[in-house]
Amino acid sequence: MSYELTIIEKPTYLQFVVSGENSRDTVARYMDDVMRECAERNFPRALVEERLQGPRLGTIDVFCLSAALSMRYIGALKSLAYVDVFAVGDTMKFAENVAVNRGFPARVFATVAAAEKWLGGEPPRGAPSDATLNGGKPPS
């Protein structure tokens, strides 16, 4: 299956908009591309806006993908915000639980705006943290 992946560089994260046909293979392939781009561009945070057409994946497919991808990429990102614009029911929340239970920092949102707000709370890439500015101590 083919898909199109658009990458938008934001100050604190990369945003990926993926469109095409919905399938296990498509999801696995575009997630490999997402992780590779984040590593190559040195972005530890990402937002995936999935716009795949066709029937939604079943629970078993979602479990298998979430488990395999979260284990493959554990430690690769500090945070991944995920929006499936055509999601139905609680399947994406289930995918989040599978990933988080394996130590992968993923969070599912109903809207891109909510995901952006969550990711926007992080300092820009390369900016010194409060601890660095405060001699290694947490801000008071």
Which residues, 6+ apart, have CB-to-CB distance to 31 below 8 Å?
Answer: 48, 65, 69, 73
- Mean pLDDT, residues 61-75 taken together: 95
Q: Residue-wise over 13-46: b if at least 16 C-beta within 10 A, else e?
A: bbbbbbbbebbbebbebbbeebbebbeeeebbbb
Provide the residue range defining the domain that includes 58. 3-133
Domain count, the chain: 1
Q: Does residue 96 surpass a pLDDT of 70?
A: yes
Q: pLDDT averaged over the chain? A: 88
User: Are 20 and 52 a contacting pair, CB within 8 Å?
Assistant: yes
Q: Does residue 136 surpass a pLDDT of 50?
A: no
Assigned domain for 139 exists = no
Assigned domain for 138 exists = no
pLDDT at 129: 43
- pTM of the shown model: 0.83
Q: Does residue 82 surpass a pLDDT of 70?
A: yes
Assigned domain for 140 exists = no
Residue 13: CATH number of its domain: 3.30.750.24
Assigned domain for 95 exists = yes
The pLDDT-based confidence of 134 (bands split at 50, 70, 90) is very low
Assigned domain for 126 exists = yes
**Tens digit of pLDDT for each residue in 3-49?**
999 999 999 999 999 999 999 999 999 999 999 999 999 999 999 99
Assigned domain for 101 exists = yes
Q: What is the DSSP string of 117-134?
A: HHHHTSPPTTPPPHHHHT
Assigned domain for 18 exists = yes
